[in-house]
Amino acid sequence: MGKSYTTKCKTLKKDLSSAFSQLGWNNHRSILIEIMSIITKATYNHTDVEIISSENIYKGFVQVEKVEFRHRLFNQKDYTPVISRELIGRKEAAGALLYDDQQQKFALIEQFRVGALNDQDSPWQLEIIAGVLDGDESPETCIIRECQEESGCVINDPQHLFTFYPSAGACNEIFHLYSAETQLPEQGGIFGVEGEGENIQLHIIEYTAVESLLKSTRLRNAPVIMALQWLYQHIKGRSNVLGVRHDES
């Protein structure tokens, strides 16, 4: 993944440099350097943050740590004044969108989420299958286990899409997003590990519903929106499904 990304960045830099040259913008080389710099790496790194103190103030389903720190300011050698923040600690998590090209269907789950307790529509959210990593297991192993628990589906080769921070403003959770082609059941059902308080409804949905679902307000969390945007691109060339021409960009 890393090598592929680096190769793409180098290719992009070469293409931009060629375009600038053809346009006679050789004096804009500094712009190109700045663009490529922020694409390939952040402006600062860990050495530009000074931790003044940290204190664990709560440990339950999540952990909360009070952190005092200061960090470098952009375009300056100075640091910020001391900042105090509560950092929510959560285990890494992984999720997968299950889809079936043969049946032209995909799977979503529905379950109660306390984080959506005050949602104006409903705290029962439509999601992809997901769960936290158990111990030192890999994201792929986690996904294979969770798919079995939450849908009864067996997957063997989940494809990595993205790894990201869902809410970096206050939480250190890292989420690994995957897609997985599998043979879906003809209809959904009720799943979940009873001892973990899970009560999960599996929904099997036609490919033709993807576009309208993305345009609706029913989806309220980032992983499912990102996953369905990926699925829309995956099936975009299927004229018999979405009515989109194969040559449409």
Q: What is the pLDDT of residue 13?
A: 62
Domain ranges of the chain: 2-40, 46-89, 93-236
Percent of the residues in the chain that have a pLDDT greater than 90, as a whole number: 72
- Mean pLDDT confidence for 30-53: 82
80-90 confidence digits (pLDDT tens): 999 999 999 99
77-117 confidence digits (pLDDT tens): 899 999 999 999 999 999 999 999 999 999 999 999 999 99
Residue 150 in marked binding region: yes
The more confident residue out of 2 and 22 is 22
This model's pTM is above 0.85 = no
| Count of beta carbons in the 10 Å neighbourhood of residue 140 | 19
pLDDT of 189 above 70: yes
**Tokens (6 digits) for 132:** 């936290």
Residue 211 in marked binding region: no
pLDDT of 242 above 60: no
pLDDT of 62 above 50: yes
Q: What is the pLDDT of residue 37?
A: 75
pLDDT of 70 above 60: yes
Q: How many angstroms separate the CA atoms of 129 and 50, rounded?
A: 38
Residue 248 in marked binding region: no
- Mean pLDDT confidence for 56-72: 97
6-41 confidence digits (pLDDT tens): 666 666 666 666 666 666 656 566 666 666 677 788
Taken in order 147, 151, 152, 157, the sign of the CA dihedral is negative
Q: What is the pLDDT of residue 188?
A: 92
Q: What is the pLDDT of residue 245?
A: 45
Q: How many angstroms separate the CA atoms of 190 and 111, rounded?
A: 10
Phi and psi torsions of 106, nearest 5° = -135, 170
Lowest mean pLDDT, pick from 117-121, 190-194, 227-231: 190-194
122-175 confidence digits (pLDDT tens): 999 999 999 999 999 999 999 999 999 999 999 999 999 999 999 999 999 999
CATH number, span 93-236:
3.90.79.10
| Count of beta carbons in the 10 Å neighbourhood of residue 226 | 18
- Mean pLDDT confidence for 187-199: 87
Q: How many angstroms separate the CA atoms of 182 and 162, rounded?
A: 20
Residue 86 in marked binding region: no
Q: What is the pLDDT of residue 195?
A: 80
User: What residue type is assigned to position 192 of the chain?
Assistant: G
